[in-house]
Structure 1
Amino acid sequence: MDAQQAALNNMLAGTIEVLERQVDQTLVELEKVSKDEDELAALRRRRIAEMKKTQTEKQEKIERGHGDLKNVNDVKEFFANCKKTDTVVCLLTGQNTESVQLLRLKLTKLAKIYFTTLFVEASSERVPYLFENMQFNRSRLPSIAVIKRNICVGYLYEVAGNELNVLEKRLSENGALDPQDKEQSEQRARPAKPQPTKTIRGRNYDDSDDDY
């Protein structure tokens, strides 16, 4: 083998070695991309499953009366609601006065914001046994009971004249409201950010057809 042939063989061997390294690197990158795609696909499946679960839970809460001020018509219904929901805000009312009507409107607004909490109203006229069972002083109506995990943890008195923000603060201080509910409500209320316009670089298009 002459020197020229040997040089060609060496060059060819070197070229093949470089190509092999490039192929190996490409395979490594493709494998990484494949793994990334598999991870993204798995993440997407988990996210979809979580969204479906959240939607199912939300629908179940809607069916139980979450998102509105629900009237309780008997004691059995009241305790069933308390067992199914971790946090219940119960408006205790007597006569249907103007102040009670205003209080209903405020609690209805809060119910739409704080979806996790169940807001209900119990009237001493419709469910008198409930007031007797709770040993509640009817002279202090209207009032609000905060119930957590089926246990009454406190009462809010003199609530009829409270402004919405004051009522919200008092309920929050008693652990009746989840701050995450308000954050999510505010996020939904924000207008969507406009998407940036994509510019295709390269050819400039003219509205005129004069060039054709």
Structure 2
Amino acid sequence: MANVTSDMLGQQLAMASQIIESQVDAEIERLDNLDGDELEKIRRERMAAMRKRALKKNEWISNGHGEYQELSEEKEFFETTKKSENVICHFYREGFERCKIVDKHFALLCKKHIEAKFCKINAEKSPFLTNRLNIRVLPTLVVVKDGKTKDYIIGFSELGNVDDFSTEMLEWRLARSDVIEYSGDLMHPPEAGKPRRSTLKLIDNKNAKTIRGGKQGDDSDDSDY
């Protein structure tokens, strides 16, 4: 039975390879048969696309893309989402170790994905925003696209539920929100991670509480918000 399955898989792969090869051959033949006017049209279109991309990059840089910036006040959050099409905002609190982990990854991703604006805001100093966006757990990443809140990444549960997830894992999760450009496989994460205990912080402006993972009392980061 195993041999039959292996043979079928081999035949399917061979057929797929032949289809791809024939498509490549057809494209090569099409390009070879283009006349001078058609080639010039393709060249102009590519040049126009490159100029458009360059102008877009200049716009992104002028709006602070490429740097991981802190928003000083709540109104700056709304100003940022109006200026930039793709915004990823980290709601954090001083002293939370898991917020520092997000900072480390964002500092790398902001340079790689200049098409998105990476920023953060202190949740303690932003009561209106935290209430409006219903943010109860820190860290929370809010994804805003075209001025509208599109997605939330709450804690690390979607990042393997571990503290030492890779930057690539966070990159993949953000790509699934269609907020960054990504050439990898969106259906499968780059790593699954090993299950470990996880500690998340619950925000309660009136009565601070903590959600803990693992055994009771076994938490090195248990300060309240």
Asked which structure has the greater RCO (Cα within 8 Å, sep 6+), the reply is 1
Question: How far 1:126 moved relative to its partner?
Answer: 3.8
In structure 1, distance between residues paired with 2:152 and 2:44: 45
Unpaired segments ≥5 residues, structure 2 = 1-34, 157-161, 185-225
Specify the code of the residue in structure 1 equivalent to 2:88: V
In structure 1, distance between residues paired with 2:51 and 2:172: 32
Percent of pairs with identical residues: 28
Call closer, same or farther: CA 1:168–1:162 in 2, change over 3 Å.
Answer: farther
Call closer, same or farther: CA 1:64–1:162 in 2, change over 3 Å.
Answer: farther
- SS of equivalent to 1:125: helix
Deviation track 1:74-132 (CA, whole Å, cap 9, x = no partner) reads 22221122123222111110123333222111012122222212111111234332213
Specify the code of the residue in structure 2 equivalent to 1:127: S
In structure 1, distance between residues paired with 2:59 and 2:97: 33
Aligned to 1:84: 83
Question: How far 1:45 moved relative to its partner?
Answer: 5.7
Specify the code of the residue in structure 1 equivalent to 2:169: V
Q: Which segment is superposed worse, 151-160 or 74-83?
A: 151-160
Unpaired segments ≥5 residues, structure 1 = 1-35, 183-212
Question: How far 1:133 moved relative to its partner?
Answer: 2.5
- SS of equivalent to 1:129: helix
- SS of equivalent to 1:119: strand
Correspondences of 1:124-203 after superposition (within 5 Å): 124-137=123-136, 140-159=137-156, 161-164=163-166, 165-180=168-183
Q: Tell me, yes or no, if the aligned pair for 2:99 and 2:138 is still in contact at 8 Å.
A: no
* Larger-gyration structure (1/2): 1
Correspondences of 1:1-212 after superposition (within 5 Å): 47-137=46-136, 140-159=137-156, 161-164=163-166, 165-180=168-183
In structure 2, distance between residues paired with 1:162 and 1:89: 20
In structure 2, distance between residues paired with 1:116 and 1:103: 19
Q: Which segment is superposed worse, 115-124 or 163-172?
A: 163-172
Q: Tell me, yes or no, if the aligned pair for 1:83 and 1:150 is still in contact at 8 Å.
A: yes
Question: How far 1:50 moved relative to its partner?
Answer: 3.9
Specify the code of the residue in structure 2 equivalent to 1:102: I
State how many pairs are aligned: 146
TM-score for both structures, normalised by structure 1: 0.57
Aligned to 2:198: none
Question: How far 1:61 moved relative to its partner?
Answer: 0.2
In structure 1, distance between residues paired with 2:174 and 2:40: 42
